[in-house]
Amino acid sequence: MIINKKPLWVFPDGFIMFETFSNPIEEVEDFLITISEPVSRTKLIHEYVLTPYALYAAVTSGMNGSDVIKILRKLSKNLLPKTIFRMISICTQFFGKIHLVLFKNNYFIYAPNYEIIKTLLNDEKFKKFSLYIVIHPKKIINLFSKEFKFNYQEKFLDLKFLNEKIKLGFDQKNLFSKHLIFSTNPNICKIEDIKKRSMELDCPLLEEYDFLNDFFIPSIKIDLNPTTTIRRYQEKAISKMFNRGRARSGVIVLPCGAGKTIVGITSVTMIKKTALIVCNSTVSVEQWRRQFIKWSNINPKKIKSFIAGQYSNLENGTSDIIVTTYSMISFGGQRAKLSASLLNEIKSREWGIVILDEVHIVPANVFRKVLGIIRTHCKLGLTATLLREDRKVGDIGFLIGPKLYEANWLDLEQIGFLAMACCAEICCSMPPDFFEHYLCESNSTRQILCALNPNKARICDFLIRYHESRGDRILVFSDNVFALRSYATKMLKAFIYGATGSLERIRILKNFQKHEGQTLFISRIGDTSIDLPEANVILQISSHYGSRRQEAQRLGRILRPKSKSRKAFFYSLVTSNTEEMFYANKRQQFLVGQGYDFKTILNFSGINKIPNLIFETEKEKKLLLKQVLSNQKNLKIF
């Protein structure tokens, strides 16, 4: 009997099954990550799917369509379906051959010959863009080495005027025998729309930054400190960004606690050009600044923060690195005079690299304007979960670039770079009088009744006491602010939510880091960009519907390995027989796909025998129910 030891099954719909139990070769997994998107990666079988975005990333890394087909043939147990041949051939035909270049705050689209650019020229929507065609025999790389003094009347041809000439029999092909450079009109043309339409035509614009030959943007003095150590997977992620001496724009996906900040800092030290770091909160701005000073030799005076109320230090000279937030750049209201002038400086400068932390929030309508405001040669997106429930995550492909690298959570756990997570879902029954109101009240009241279920509160109190006795550090998450305040004040614990001031928020976080209190209650503001390496236990009492991203981000708060124990504990408290059970199942899908197991506890027996827990008496429960019903008009869920 002949045993087929090839590890892959390739299906006509683009799905690929990787049998890791039969042949767990690291090179095979790296190849699949390069050409496809991971769907699930459990302990024995990985599932991937071929997508145009993934193939785009493969081509920009140096592969071509024939290489992909050849390797798939070699690794597949079955014959490759014809649809796979056709998909790879079509998707890679023009990928990586049309370049988008920024020079002196003007964008240029470069194509080597007419045959490639013909697809764009013949598209009706593309003709509507305000473009000029630059006829010049020099290759695009010369734009970086010296400045051309174009005569706009002689060197630029308007695309609309040219299309009218073509209809009259103008010889377009002879005109385009030289190298083509398209120049956009920055005043009336959105580069985002051009990139989106190019992606729809399977001719995505390749953004590569030849930083070694860029003499227009001054170099900055920055290197990694000699004591800084780059882990193997971080080195692999960085290598995917740099190819043939150029930096590619794209997204790197690493789990929380796996060192995304180090990857961003290393990319800046390699490019050595002015950098703009954009975060989603003021707390993470200060964290990024501290990490730059810790891991690199940057002069602290050359890295500045631009956040509300703390930007006066930017006045003194230009900065090599600026760290700010999405809201500071995208805010469209009236600004203070100094703030407006500093923002104009950020807009007018041509940046070498822009790092977008928690890049999954960029497709939101409020924040995506950030990319239209900033002019940069290279964009690097960092995130732990490339997920959005509104299905806008695909927009990142043309807003930022393709996904360059995605790490396997379980692999990092086995190596020891992530803590071993024990996940459990605890079903909490609801008292009859609470459940009676749950069936007839409004949606907002039902949510608060689920969050403030007395039995859930008692289990939460018990788990906090148990883990505090072990010396653990505990985070309690609640999206519902009314429930958050009720739990924290009843248990005499510190809490943070959206209305907490920046200074007060930083003080509470520092106290938690200095072991002044073992438990911290926190709202959804703690989902991302808050560095709490001491925490190793999470209790989730209220969440944002069925958000898979939020579930993974919260687990990531405790995945950083600890010196005392490699184990981390994640408890999701769910009220039985309510909508919470439906949402909990949906929320866990991403983590289950990453190979994590959720243990379901249906009966938390013995909880009623434990004395001195909160909401112990019937009088306390009735008072709680009265408070919920009387305050339902003032409830807010942040």
DSSP letter for each residue of 57-114: HHHHTT--HHHHHHHHHHHBSSPPPHHHHHHHHHHHSSTTSEEEEEETTEEEEEESSH
In a domain, 291, yes or no: yes
Residue after which a domain boundary falls, among 360, 386, 407: 407
Pair 448, 521 in one domain: yes
What CATH number is given to the structural domain containing 439? Answer: 3.40.50.300
Pair 548, 607 in one domain: yes
Q: Residue 24 in contact with residue 45, Cβ under 8 Å?
A: no
Angle at 184 between CA 181 and CA 189, to 5 degrees: 155
Determine the residue type at 467. Answer: H
pLDDT of residue 637: 41
Query: For 327-341, what is each residue's pLDDT tens digit?
Result: 888 776 666 666 677
In a domain, 560, yes or no: yes
Distances (CA, A) of 147 to 141, 215, 260, 351, 451: 11, 10, 36, 18, 63
Backbone angles phi, psi at 201, to 5 degrees: -90, 10
Backbone angles phi, psi at 271, to 5 degrees: -75, -40
In a domain, 220, yes or no: yes
| Continuous H helices in 423-495 | 432-440, 443-451, 454-469, 481-491
Question: What contacts 541, CB < 8 A, 6 or more positions away?
Answer: 451, 456, 457, 460, 476, 477, 478, 483, 487, 573
Q: Domain count of the chain?
A: 4
Query: For 27-59, what is each residue's pLDDT tens digit?
Result: 888 899 889 888 888 888 899 999 887 888 888
Distance between CA 129 and CA 367 in Å, rounded? 23
| Mean pLDDT along residues 180-186 | 58
Pair 477, 611 in one domain: yes
Residue after which a domain boundary falls, among 203, 231, 248: 203
In a domain, 3, yes or no: no
Pair 377, 425 in one domain: no
pLDDT of residue 572: 93
Q: Enter the tokens of residue 478.
A: 């609640």
Share of the chain above pLDDT 90, in %: 26
Distance between CA 44 and CA 41 in Å, rounded? 8
Pair 573, 440 in one domain: yes
Coil vs helix vs strand at 537: strand
Distance between CA 127 and CA 113 in Å, rounded? 18
Question: Is residue 24 predicted with pLDDT exceeding 70?
Answer: no
Pair 497, 602 in one domain: yes
Distance between CA 179 and CA 111 in Å, rounded? 7
Pair 145, 216 in one domain: no
Q: Enter the tokens of residue 138.
A: 């020099």
Q: Residue 258 in contact with residue 405, Cβ under 8 Å?
A: no
Question: Is residue 609 predicted with pLDDT exceeding 50?
Answer: yes
The burial class, CB within 10 Å (0-12 / 13-18 / 19+), for 637 is: middle
Pair 194, 228 in one domain: no
Pair 179, 140 in one domain: yes
In a domain, 1, yes or no: no
Share of the chain above pLDDT 70, in %: 84
Pair 148, 261 in one domain: no
Distance between CA 118 and CA 120 in Å, rounded? 5
Buried/exposed code over 240-264 (b: 16+ C-beta within 10 A; e: otherwise): bbbeeebbbbbbbbbbbbbbbbbbb
In a domain, 588, yes or no: yes
Pair 279, 229 in one domain: yes
Residue after which a domain boundary falls, among 75, 92, 109: 92
In a domain, 367, yes or no: yes
In a domain, 281, yes or no: yes
- For residue 464, the enclosing domain spans 416-634
Question: What contacts 165, CB < 8 A, 6 or more positions away?
Answer: none
| Mean pLDDT along residues 427-452 | 89
Pair 295, 240 in one domain: yes
